[in-house]
């Protein structure tokens, strides 16, 4: 499988509608998660989303109800492992694959819950789903990336109409 590029660099296609979720808000959520809780070195300034390939890990969560949205986080296996070492406070060699996926799932779970809090309407949050990336990605989504310890972590947000 060939690598594929996300064609929107820190894009915000929701500027024209009533979406409450912006790139700045996602950046703040990412910063709070990695800086405050995990003490990881994250730069909350958006960077160009990297090319993703079949080895990229994806964690997804959905909000459904009065507002509906999809949130996905993409990271290389190496980066997901770094996140897991921070969460479990252990060496990478001591981590099981399940724990690495669990860690990335918690990343999207926290961001998804924070988005749900921004909506503050009758909504339900799904459980996180983690695995290798599934294509195609959602069209016309807001996609941005951040430097996390020297590697990019990508966040995709797509609000869905009822």
Partner 1 sequence: MKILIVDDSKAMRMIVARTLKQTDLTNFTVIEAGSGAEALQKLETESPDLILSDWNMPEMKGIELLQKVREAGNNIRFGFITSESSVETRKQATESGAAFLVTKPFTADSIQAALEPILS
* Binding residues for partner 1 (CB under 8 A): 32-33, 36-38, 84, 87-89, 99, 102-103, 105-106, 109-114, 116-117, 119-123, 125, 127
Burial of 123 (C-beta count, 10 Å sphere; 0-12/13-18/19+): middle
- Minimum distance from residue 120 beta carbon to partner 1 (Å): 5
- Minimum distance from residue 11 beta carbon to partner 1 (Å): 25
- Minimum distance from residue 29 beta carbon to partner 1 (Å): 8
Q: Judging by DSSP bridges, how do beta strands 151-160 and 68-75 pair with one another?
A: antiparallel
| Beta-carbon contacts of residue 87 (< 8 Å; ≥ 6 apart) | 38, 103, 106
Q: What distance in Å separates the CA atoms of residue 20 and residue 14, rounded to the nearest whole number?
A: 9
Q: Which is nearer to partner 1, 100 or 142 (CB)?
A: 100
Q: Which two tokens stand for residue 76?
A: 């290389």
Residue 34 is given by DSSP the state I
Q: Which is nearer to partner 1, 7 or 39 (CB)?
A: 39
Q: Which two tokens stand for residue 88?
A: 């479990």
- Minimum distance from residue 139 beta carbon to partner 1 (Å): 27
């Amino acid at each position: 499988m060939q690598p594929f590029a996300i064609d929107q660099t820190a894009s915000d296609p929701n500027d024209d509608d009533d979406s409450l979720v912006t790139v700045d808000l996602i950046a703040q959520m990412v910063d709070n998660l990695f800086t405050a809780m995990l003490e990881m070195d994250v730069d909350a300034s958006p960077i160009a989303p990297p090319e993703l390939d079949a080895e990229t890990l994806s964690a997804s969560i959905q909000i459904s109800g009065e507002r509906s949205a999809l949130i996905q986080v993409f990271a290389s296996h190496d980066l997901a492992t770094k996140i897991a070492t921070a969460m479990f406070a252990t060496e990478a060699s001591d981590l099981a694959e399940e724990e690495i996926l669990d860690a990335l799932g918690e990343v999207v779970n926290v961001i998804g819950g924070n988005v749900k809090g921004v909506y503050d309407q009758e909504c339900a949050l799904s459980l996180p789903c983690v695995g290798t990336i599934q294509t195609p990605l959602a069209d016309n989504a807001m996609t941005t990336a951040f430097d996390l310890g020297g590697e990019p972590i990508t966040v995709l947000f797509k609000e869905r109409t009822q």
